[in-house]
Chain A
Amino acid sequence: MAWRRLITTVLIIAPTLWLLAFGFTRDARYITSPLLAKEAAPFTVTLFDGRKVSLNELRGKAIFLNFWASWCTPCRAEAKDLEAAWQRVKDKNMVFLGVALQDTEKDSRAFLQEFNISYPNGWDDSGKIAVDYGVWGIPESFFIDPQGRITYKHVGGIRPALVIAKLEDAARGIVSAKEGKEDYQPIR
Chain B
Amino acid sequence: MFIRPLIIVVYLLVVSPLSAADAPDIDEQTRAIAQELRCVVCQNLSVADSPSEMAQQMRGIVREQLAAGKTPQQVKDFFVSKYGQWVLLAPTTQGFSLLVWVLPFVVLIAGVVCGFWFIRRWSVKKTAGNAAVADSDLLTRIRSEAASGKALDMEPEDSSVRAQLLQERAHLYAELKELEFDFQAGKLAESDYGALKLEIENKAAGVLQQLDSFSSPPTPASQGVERQTSDKKRRLNPTRKAYRRWQLATGGLFLLLFGLTLGIALTNSSRPRESTQDSITGGFLTGTGGDQSSRFLQEGKSAFAKRDWPKAIAAFENALAADPNQPEAHAYLGFILVQAGHADGALLAFDKALSQAPNFPMALWGKGLVLLHEKQDYSAAREVLEKLVRLLPAGAERSEVEKTLAQLPQSGAVRQETKPAPAPTGQQISGKISLDPKLKGNVDRQATLFIIARPAGADKAPPLAVRKIERPVFPLSYSLGAENVMMQGIPFTGSVAVVARLDKDGNPTTRQPGDLTGDYKKNPVAVSSQNIDIVLDQAVQ
Contacts and interface: CB of A to CB of B under 8 A. Distances in A.
7 contacts: A20-B262, A24-B284, A29-B288, A77-B359, A102-B54, A134-B82, A188-B52
B69 interface: no
Contacts of A119: none
B61 A70 contact: no
A77 B286 contact: no
Interface string B37-60: 000110100000000111001101
B148 to A, nearest CB: 48
Tell me if B's interface is mostly helix, strand, loop or mixed.
helix
A95 B229 CA distance: 89
Contacts of B258: 17
Given A2-B246, A115-B390, A134-B83, A20 B261 contact: yes
A107 B394 contact: yes
Contacts of B80: 34
B287 interface: yes
Contacts of A26: 281, 286
Contact of B82 (A21, A25, A35, A79): A35
B279 A29 contact: yes
Interface in A159-188: 183, 186-188
A131 interface: yes
Nearest to B358: A77
B243 A2 contact: yes
A48 to B, nearest CB: 16
B392 interface: yes
Contacts of A72: 393
A76 B57 contact: no
A80 interface: yes
What interface size band does chain A fall in? 35 or more
A71 B393 contact: yes
B83 A27 contact: no
A107 B261 CA distance: 48
A136 to B, nearest CB: 4
B71 interface: no
Given A73-B391, A131-B57, 17 more contacts: A9-B254, A17-B257, A17-B258, A21-B261, A27-B288, A28-B288, A29-B43, A31-B83, A33-B84, A34-B80, A34-B83, A71-B393, A72-B393, A77-B359, A110-B394, A130-B57, A134-B84
What interface size band does chain B fall in? 35 or more
Interface in B142-160: none
A76 B84 contact: no
A17 B277 CA distance: 30
B41 A187 contact: yes
Given A34-B83, A70-B393, A186-B277, A27 B41 contact: no
Nearest to A16: B258
Contacts of B288: 27-29
A31 to B, nearest CB: 6
Interface of A: 2, 6, 9, 13, 17, 20-21, 24-29, 31-35, 70-74, 76-77, 79-80, 102, 107, 110-111, 114-115, 126-128, 130-134, 136, 183, 186-188
Nearest to A188: B53
A34 B84 contact: yes
B54 A188 contact: yes
A142 to B, nearest CB: 12
Contacts of B261: 17, 20-21
Given A31-B83, A34-B82, A127-B57, A77 B391 contact: yes
Contact of B281 (A27, A107, A183, A186): A27
Given A73-B361, A107-B394, A28 B286 contact: yes
A134 B52 CA distance: 16
Nearest first, the 4 A-B pairs at minimum CB distance are A127-B57, A28-B281, A134-B82, A71-B393
A75 B395 CA distance: 16
A21 B265 CA distance: 9
Nearest to A114: B390
B82 A133 contact: yes
Nearest to A125: B57
Interface string B356-397: 010101000000000000000000000000000011111000
A102 B56 CA distance: 11
Nearest to B52: A188
A109 to B, nearest CB: 11
B308 to A, nearest CB: 29
Contact of A27 (B84, B254, B287, B357): B287
B280 interface: yes
B82 A76 contact: no
Interface in B282-328: 284-288
Contact of A132 (B43, B82, B243, B246): B82
A61 to B, nearest CB: 24
Contacts of A32: 84, 86
B41 A188 contact: yes
B250 interface: yes
A3 to B, nearest CB: 11
Contacts of A127: 53-54, 57-58, 60-61
Interface string B52-95: 11100110110000000000000000011111101100000000
Interface string B229-258: 000000000000001001000100010011
B202 interface: no
